[in-house]
Structure 1
């Protein structure tokens, strides 16, 4: 029947992070505002530093620009709503707004995943095949990898959003979260959600696991190549070029695994919320610092950008 395809719930209520007194609400608002502003500022500085330094116009740093852009977009899908919840007490989000948030969260999460895999492959080529790096990592291949990632991520997000749109929500509209996530919404639905769950298991699972396997394989090959280097200094130099990327990979996948791949018996509302905050807000904020503080070229480029900025100030 046509009526079963239409939701009886026109909006949802996001409970946010805390239902404590107003003073704590204001503190949470201030905390998220600071983290969001730091994320945006850090991303802009990285893009400016790479864009103004011709020595950094290489595939690795181009991928870093894309990753930084995706991170700030990822944070922007949830942080503004969290701030609205805790300062304006605006917990309502429309059904269409909820679907839109799910779509963009899916797009940027998968893009983060793919870009980390692409950057791992870039490091593999640079370390294991340095003489062929320029011929292997061409501008055409880099563009193809980025565009292909966007297409696959968008199609995956569209699939899950359309599957969610076909469900009915009859009574309960309270989401015990600070953003519209797929899992809490499926629990609220009064429709058959087996197809949604199957697609999450196979499609979304595949898109998360396959890049992770690529990263593992790349670093196993990198480790084997580095261990064959005779000098200790040469080994350290090769590993240091991967340290920033490895730190971001561990942070990204650590929060995802703790949030989505733990046994259901180990889940608790507080733990899941903390993992979600790490995943959607804290990790995007830390990535610019990780890449800039662990990289001499980036630190030099950032210093030049800041020096130029302050010297031009009257």
Structure 2
């Protein structure tokens, strides 16, 4: 069995790759910068150098492969969210059809079937990306997730220096959140499952629904210092991304997605034993956030 892994140096992709290597499966990765892959990884995988939105690169990578892990990387400078997700995926769409792939596991988002999904920025584009992949006839398992716990780490400096983190979501809105380590575990399991057929979504929700006030209380306890959540306006939220160099379209896409989450986009799927994952926010804070803050 040969599995192709895209974005193998990213947060999720690197963890998927580690899990797959532990299984003994044959792995082929697509990577632009080989220096970001550790030597012990390079010794265990076949590498196709390039970007997975390049037609010749993805065509070469899928030759003889059984399964594909598909992750569309962030493009902060894209002209539109549809370009960043759907247009990026079109070369893979052609290659999947050409090579008759057995299965694809994609990183996607919650929201299909909800009124909010029609104007949810990155989520809307992710769902359109899944539809494009599914139209090839491949067995697709789209992993649909809420926001990642790991996103909080982007505000590590303000948590450490100001005791605050900032978002435009209502402070008492309870939402699911998932650790990327658990996403990688589910993805690897599905990639190794040769019985998958048809198209389906696999929700990966994390163990609890928490508000950002709840998260602040947990962080305060774990870090042994007061941490507060501060709600900001959606206008301020978008402006911050533009100030950091993001295109207006992509900043608006993030803002639209966050607004949809604030309207309940991520609450539409009920938590079950099957879609709950083990890593709690407290555990994530203890193992991931605390070492960043208490340097």
Rg larger in 1 or in 2?
1
Higher helix share: 1
TM-score bracket, shorter-length normalisation: under 0.3
Q: Per chain length, whose mean CA-contact separation is higher, i.e. which structure has more relative contact order (CA < 8 Å, sep 6+)?
A: 1
TM-score normalized by the length of structure 2: 0.27
